[in-house]
Amino acid sequence: MDEAERLADRVAIIDRGKIVAIGSVEELKRLVGRDVVYLKVKGRFKGVEHTKLPDGKIKVDVENAMAFIPKLFELASKKGFKILEIEYRRPTLNDVFLHLTGREIRDERGGSIKEIIARRMRAFTTIIYR
Amino acid sequence: MIEVENLVKRFGNLTALKGISFKVKRGETFAFLGPNGAGKTTTIHILTTLLKPTSGRAVVAGYDVVKEEKEVRKMIGIVFQDPSLDRDLTAYENMLIHAGVYGIKNPRIDEMLKPVELWDIRNKVVRFFSGGMQRRLEIARALLHEPEVLFLDEPTLGLDP
Amino acid sequence: MINSIVWLIFFGMGWSGFMRGLNYLRFLAPGIFMITIFSHSVFSGISVIWDKELGFLKEVLVAPASRKESIAGRIIGDSIIAIVQGIVILTLSFLLVRMNVLGILPSIVFGFLLAIAFSSLGVCIALRTRSMEGFQMILSILILPLIFLSGAIFPIDAMPSWMKVLAYLNPMTYAVDGARVYLSGMRSLPILLDWVILSAVTALSLGLAMVSFERSTIE
């Protein structure tokens, strides 16, 4: 699954003998919805619609996390807050499959618990910035 | 490069493919994603002339997979889901046999085996290779005849980390 | 091959002593020669099953090389091995019993035809069989009746008529009879008939194996 994301120009999602979706990885992920950015900041965060999480982090729903993060730095220097940590979550192809079929892709390997955890971990990309 | 129209494959009363259509352009990397039994391997087997479709049409590198199977076979390279090496032969001999059945006069086996780090052990019998080594040998072999289209069925399965 | 030696020495020499006046060993030796070739070549299909189970068959099936030629190559290769084994047994037979030296060459040709016929049939069975166990089971059912119904061990003339019919349907009968004519000078069928029928069956089964392999898919 990871190799598909990294290497493929286009992906066809196939289930029970039918193609349920076809397109670039980005296009397919857009079917599921948006990216989520989690922030830890020093100072007052403002300028973008957001929700505060109980652990003090800030959650922002965006169309495209990659495009949003550079804007975030501009915002930080304009509004005068400091970014301590950025974390974002993008939908995985597994999320896309789940969305389209209501089931998970079982990896061909059968998937031990360890592998499933490893896969979940990879779905989370973290950038630490101090 | 690849054109698939309404491909259907039935095994007895089980329908493995229920009308699949897609196109792949030259130079494009195209991936199939889906759970076990979704029809990925069946599709690859039809496109590589190993299975005949029940109905529908598929063209690979300009040739029909049913009517011009021999032409298709010349154009494609495949790495199968399960190993397809002759385990009693050495890595080098497996490459030589491949060159023979694909009619290559001066196979550049060294050029293929060096990048996958198998050149130094080319005279070892494949039976003693690890899963990852066998996999790399199969990839080198699939590229030996410079195919127009390369098919990889679960390419990372069994690769050493 | 060990089995053939056991047959030849213990079975052949044992019965020779019982049937005084008749040279049973001279009757049996061409038969054992054919049994050796037959029982090796019929297992030729096993290599196809191995390739199927170990995956190498896919590499062959997907290659642009002629499938008909590759399976014919395998059948002829296995037939040569079968013939070599037969020649070893034949040499041993000549040490035990006097036979016609000039009969060696035509007998080897007969043996080669038989080997190709049964290698081809073995391949046809293997292509339609899913597992090694299945293949071996089918063969174990076929082998003994084919041997007994070939006239290799006892003459066809002495069989009850229903059994004769089965024997005449068995291609091995004509190979045994041919070799016996040339090596031992004993005959029960016209030699021309032996040549024609065995050649026809061989050509037919080789053709069948080539076409089956050409059309085979992996399911």
- Partners of C64 on chain B (C-beta within 8 Å) are 70, 73-74, 101-103
Q: Is residue B84 part of a domain?
A: no
Q: Is the pLDDT of residue A125 over 60?
A: no
Q: Is residue B82 part of a domain?
A: no
Query: Helical H runs in chain C?
Result: 2-6, 13-18, 24-41, 45-54, 56-61, 67-96, 104-127, 132-148, 161-169, 171-184, 191-215
Q: C and B: touch, per 3+ CB pairs < 8 A?
A: yes
Cβ <8 Å between C64 and B103: yes
B132 and B66 in a common domain: no
C82 vs B82, more confident: C82
Cβ <8 Å between B85 and C56: yes
List, in order, residues 6 or more apart from A23 with CB less than 8 Å away. A10, A11
Q: Is residue C111 part of a domain?
A: yes
Q: Is residue B159 part of a domain?
A: no
B100 and B67 in a common domain: no
Cα–Cα distance measured from residue C138 to residue C7, given in angstroms and rounded to the nearest whole number: 23
Q: Is residue B7 part of a domain?
A: yes
Q: Is residue B26 part of a domain?
A: yes
Mean pLDDT value across chain B? 87
Question: C61: distance to nearest CA of chain B, Å?
Answer: 7
Q: Is residue C61 part of a domain?
A: yes
Q: Which domain holds residue A60?
A: 33-128
- Tens-place pLDDT, residues B109-149: 998 899 888 999 999 999 999 888 998 899 899 989 988 88
- Tens-place pLDDT, residues B99-118: 998 988 888 899 889 988 89
pLDDT band of A119, cuts 50, 70, 90 = very low
The token pair at B114 is 């060096």
Give the pLDDT of residue C168. Answer: 94
Choosing from B43, B76, B109, the residue where a domain stops is B76
Give the pLDDT of residue B155. Answer: 61
Note whether B102 contacts A: Cβ–Cβ < 8 A: no
- Tens-place pLDDT, residues C160-217: 999 999 999 999 999 999 999 999 988 788 999 999 999 999 999 999 999 999 988 8
Closest Cα partner for A71 from A89, A90, A86?
Answer: A86
Proportion of chain B above pLDDT 90, given as a percent: 41
Cα–Cα distance measured from residue C1 to residue C9, given in angstroms and rounded to the nearest whole number: 12
The residue among A5, A19, A107 with the most chain B CBs within 10 A of its CB, best to mutate, is: A19
Total count of domains within chain B: 2
Cβ <8 Å between A4 and B33: yes
Note whether B85 contacts C: Cβ–Cβ < 8 A: yes
Highest mean pLDDT out of A32-41, B37-46, B114-123, C45-54: B114-123
Give the pLDDT of residue A108. Answer: 42
Buried b (16+ CB within 10 A) or exposed e, A92-116: bbbbbbebebeeebebbeeeeeeee
Spell out the long-range contacts of C149-155 with Cβ–Cβ below 8 A and sequence spacing 24 or more.
C149/C173, C150/C31, C150/C34, C150/C35, C150/C38, C150/C175, C150/C176, C151/C31, C151/C176, C151/C177, C151/C188, C152/C28, C152/C30, C152/C31, C152/C32, C152/C34, C152/C35, C152/C176, C153/C11, C153/C28, C153/C31, C155/C27, C155/C188
Give the pLDDT of residue A109. Answer: 42
Contact status, residue B72 vs residue B83, Cβ threshold 8 Å:
no
pLDDT band of A128, cuts 50, 70, 90 = very low
B44 and B108 in a common domain: no
- Which single residue is written with the structure tokens 């024609």? C196
Closest Cα partner for C63 from B120, A41, B144, A69?
Answer: B144
Total count of domains within chain A: 1
What's the half-sphere exposure (Cβ side, CA atoms, 13 Å) at C188?
19
Q: Which domain holds residue B17?
A: 2-76
- Tens-place pLDDT, residues C113-170: 999 999 999 999 999 988 888 898 999 899 999 999 999 998 998 899 999 999 999 9
Choosing from B13, B42, B76, the residue where a domain stops is B76
- Partners of A13 on chain B (C-beta within 8 Å) are 33-34
Find the helix or strand (DSSP H, E) in which C21 lies. Answer: none
ipTM confidence: 0.83
The token pair at C11 is 């079975």
CA pseudo-torsion sign C127, C129, C133, C138? negative
Q: Is the pLDDT of residue A105 over 90?
A: no
Of C55, C63, C218, the CB nearest to B102: C63
Q: Which domain holds residue C36?
A: 23-215
Note whether C214 contacts B: Cβ–Cβ < 8 A: no
Give the pLDDT of residue B95. Answer: 94
Give the pLDDT of residue C219. Answer: 62
Q: What is the DSSP letter of A107?
A: P
pLDDT band of C102, cuts 50, 70, 90 = very high
- Partners of B9 on chain C (C-beta within 8 Å) are none
Give the pLDDT of residue A124. Answer: 31
Give the pLDDT of residue A1. Answer: 53
Question: A116: distance to nearest CA of chain B, Å?
Answer: 15
Cβ <8 Å between C59 and B85: yes
- Partners of A12 on chain B (C-beta within 8 Å) are 22, 30-33
Give the pairing of strands A10-15 and B30-33.
parallel
Q: Is residue B110 part of a domain?
A: yes
B59 and B13 in a common domain: yes
Q: What is the 3-state secondary structure (H, E, C) of C64-80?
A: CCCHHHHHHHHHHHHHH
Total count of domains within chain C: 1
Q: C and A: touch, per 3+ CB pairs < 8 A?
A: no
pLDDT band of A4, cuts 50, 70, 90 = low
Of B29, B39, B154, the CB nearest to A14: B39
Mean pLDDT value across chain C? 90
- B 28-47 → A contacts, CB under 8 A: 28-36, 38-40, 42-43
CATH of residue B62: 3.40.50.300
Closest Cα partner for C105 from C87, C118, C119, C93?
Answer: C87
B70 and B97 in a common domain: no
Note whether C46 contacts B: Cβ–Cβ < 8 A: no
Note whether A106 contacts B: Cβ–Cβ < 8 A: yes
Note whether C160 contacts B: Cβ–Cβ < 8 A: no
Give the pLDDT of residue A123. Answer: 31
Q: Is residue C165 part of a domain?
A: yes
pLDDT band of A27, cuts 50, 70, 90 = confident
Note whether B52 contacts C: Cβ–Cβ < 8 A: yes
Contact status, residue A37 vs residue A60, Cβ threshold 8 Å:
yes
C-alpha R_g of chain C = 18
Helix (H, G, I), strand (E, B) or coil at A53: coil
pLDDT band of C55, cuts 50, 70, 90 = confident
**Which residue on chain B is closest to C50 by alpha carbon?**
B86
Query: How many inter-chain contacts (B to C, CB under 8 Å) are there?
Result: 54
Of B51, B82, B103, the CB nearest to C55: B82
